[in-house]
A and B are shown apart, each in its own frame.
Chain A
């Protein structure tokens, strides 16, 4: 935009009305209900009647016994899952774009867990992670390692679910990375090869920087997903044993299940603020760097 005044006079090739159809649907079916829900966080709400109680729900939510540990668990869970998804997603994507046997088949196999319903994943891993009879500990046993009790060990429960989450979700990260890697022009690699760059060097200098938009997408998607996650946790441990794998979203979900609609809405507002607090700086950071390029 060299001369904004002049540009404005001409009809812009990027008309604002492009935003209207999508914006309308988003506003009517998402934003409006969300704003209405915010009101209910200030009420005692049984769905049938409501009573304005000010900030009492927020006070109650912060008194929730499982909240303090839940907050910590949420952060651990989000960082572990998104970190592993970035690393393993990238590794798998590199592997699956390399010239190897049965590539198409393996791409589908890696994506398969994404499609399996959470109930199925939960049940399957409850069996595989069984402390004594589970296949995972049997395999570890052959290697001379005594595996932990996984889901039923208070110290391991949260991490166990996080690992399963990574297993289930890494296929998605891989697909996003594959799209990123495959859109890098092949000549770059050829040229680097001619220059005698090692495979590691090519990865560091070409793949990693040029797949950055993919990395941004994967981080944002999996971090926000991780902070909000509860369905898998619910299917596998219900936040247990006791409260040892409770995260914020599962604490909120329990309030909702108990019929405390105002309280759970207040919890959602708190979670929303937390996620914004974490995601927004990241979002700005990535966007700014994009603009500089």
Chain B
């Protein structure tokens, strides 16, 4: 019934000029072709990338027909992926987070290891580490790595004669000057709560610089946010900035888009953010991408200053994919990790950071903020974010950081509450020693 209805409608629509093979269910596979399904998140920009990737792949591998399937983003999507894996009903190849969230889908039981594939040798070592479980590699990288830090308005910096700060004290003195000039020093956008975590999460390079063993001790229930000064600094920064009155006036109701627009148009001096925001800058403030620069979160020691990195998500193959489909899925997975794959990726969306495949290079026309980010990485001043080094990340962090940034809760209290949240997560994951 449904298929028939769809077919009839396809017919009707094709009169108005649609191509064959559209309308999903009527997708035809040519004789001798292997059809595989690729599941990725339905962010409109990401779907464009996926379509470009599939087109480039199919042009080179005529024997494979890749069908695109989408899922929601964020935790709803995470739950869907877990549900489909747990019920042995996963797409033939799929995109999913790397790092701690990958560990949560039990790669050893659910995914096909691909350590022996040729492309694995071409991976950036940090990325390789975040798609590895029990010494087996499971995924190829979907897109570039991005960095967490601070977007700043370049014309404003020039106008006020400011330098990019390397310590927190320098940053605060810049803020004072920006405020004196009548501009909001730091933008916050709590209508979308996830944006509130950046000041804490992106500070991790500084935490690791001060206390190299933190990630391991934290995972083993030995180091706490409340008792590690370097780790607590992120919360204190939030408190300090709020108390100094450095936020934009509408910080509580502003949205992410407002934040991007404000820093691009010079209504705010800084916006703590991750560079995946760069592609969205162009819609938020058309033509202003070149006015936005990027620097790492300043810490206590200028000589150790560096950027916190978020690794790209991975392309994985579930154990349920077998035979011809497995071979085809592996081809697709490899293609994504090739120079051609990177080109296809970059052709569909502006990039927010450098690729993690050695044979891939950034095009010359990337946004200035991406160049700023690359400079840190090339100089070796970068560490992966804590969520890539430890399986534990408390789920309530974004609510807690909103509280601190709004003056509802003190930094010390917040660190304690977050430790409790972390403990719950470790227990729920069944991690040893909690």
A and B touch in the complex (CB under 8 A): yes
- A-side residues, CB < 8 A to B, are 44, 46-49, 51, 60, 65-66, 126, 130-132, 149, 151-152, 154, 238-244, 254-260, 262-263
9 A-B pairs with the lowest CB-CB distances in the bound complex, closest first: A152-B252, A258-B395, A242-B403, A257-B75, A47-B86, A48-B106, A260-B428, A152-B253, A47-B82
Name A126's contact: one of B253, B396, B403, B408 (CB within 8 Å).
Answer: B253
Distance to closest chain A CB from B326 (angstroms) = 21
- CA gap between A60 and B430 in the complex, in Å: 14
Interface of B is mostly: helix
Q: Does B429 contact A (CB under 8 A)?
A: yes
Q: Are A263 and B428 in contact (CB under 8 A)?
A: yes
- In this complex, the interface size class of chain B, counting residues with CB under 8 Å from chain A, is 35 or more
Distance to closest chain B CB from A239 (angstroms) = 7
Point out the residues of chain A lying under 8 angstroms from B427, CB to CB: 44, 60
Point out the residues of chain B lying under 8 angstroms from A65, CB to CB: 417, 420
- CA gap between A244 and B409 in the complex, in Å: 12
Knowing A242-B409, A257-B395, say if A51 contacts B430 (CB, 8 Å): yes
Point out the residues of chain A lying under 8 angstroms from B83, CB to CB: 47
Q: Are B430 and A44 in contact (CB under 8 A)?
A: yes
Q: Are B86 and A241 in contact (CB under 8 A)?
A: no
Distance to closest chain A CB from B189 (angstroms) = 11
Q: Are B79 and A241 in contact (CB under 8 A)?
A: no
- CA gap between A255 and B424 in the complex, in Å: 10
Known: A49-B106, A154-B408. 11 other contacts (CB 8 A): A47-B82, A48-B86, A48-B110, A131-B252, A132-B249, A152-B253, A242-B406, A242-B408, A243-B403, A258-B75, A258-B428
Q: Are A48 and B253 in contact (CB under 8 A)?
A: no
- CA gap between A151 and B104 in the complex, in Å: 34
- Residue in B190, B399, B408, B409 whose Cβ sees the most chain A Cβ within 10 Å: B399
- CA gap between A152 and B406 in the complex, in Å: 10
Q: Are B430 and A151 in contact (CB under 8 A)?
A: no
- CA gap between A126 and B417 in the complex, in Å: 29
Q: Does B78 contact A (CB under 8 A)?
A: yes
- CA gap between A49 and B424 in the complex, in Å: 18
Q: Does B289 contact A (CB under 8 A)?
A: no
Point out the residues of chain A lying under 8 angstroms from B430, CB to CB: 44, 46, 51
Point out the residues of chain B lying under 8 angstroms from A255, CB to CB: 395
Distance to closest chain B CB from A148 (angstroms) = 12
Distance to closest chain B CB from A174 (angstroms) = 31
Q: Are B395 and A240 in contact (CB under 8 A)?
A: no
Point out the residues of chain B lying under 8 angstroms from A240, CB to CB: 190, 193, 399, 402
Bits for B73-102, please: 1 = Cβ < 8 Å to A, else 0. 001101100110110000000000000000
Q: Does B372 contact A (CB under 8 A)?
A: no
Name A241's contact: one of B76, B78, B190 (CB within 8 Å).
Answer: B190
Point out the residues of chain A lying under 8 angstroms from B76, CB to CB: 257
Point out the residues of chain A lying under 8 angstroms from B395, CB to CB: 254-255, 257-258, 260
Q: Are A259 and B104 in contact (CB under 8 A)?
A: yes
Distance to closest chain A CB from B197 (angstroms) = 13
Q: Which residue of B lies closest to A60 (CB)?
A: B424
User: In chain B between 374 and 410, which residues have their CB closer than 8 angstroms to a CB of chain A?
Assistant: 395-396, 398-400, 402-403, 406, 408-409
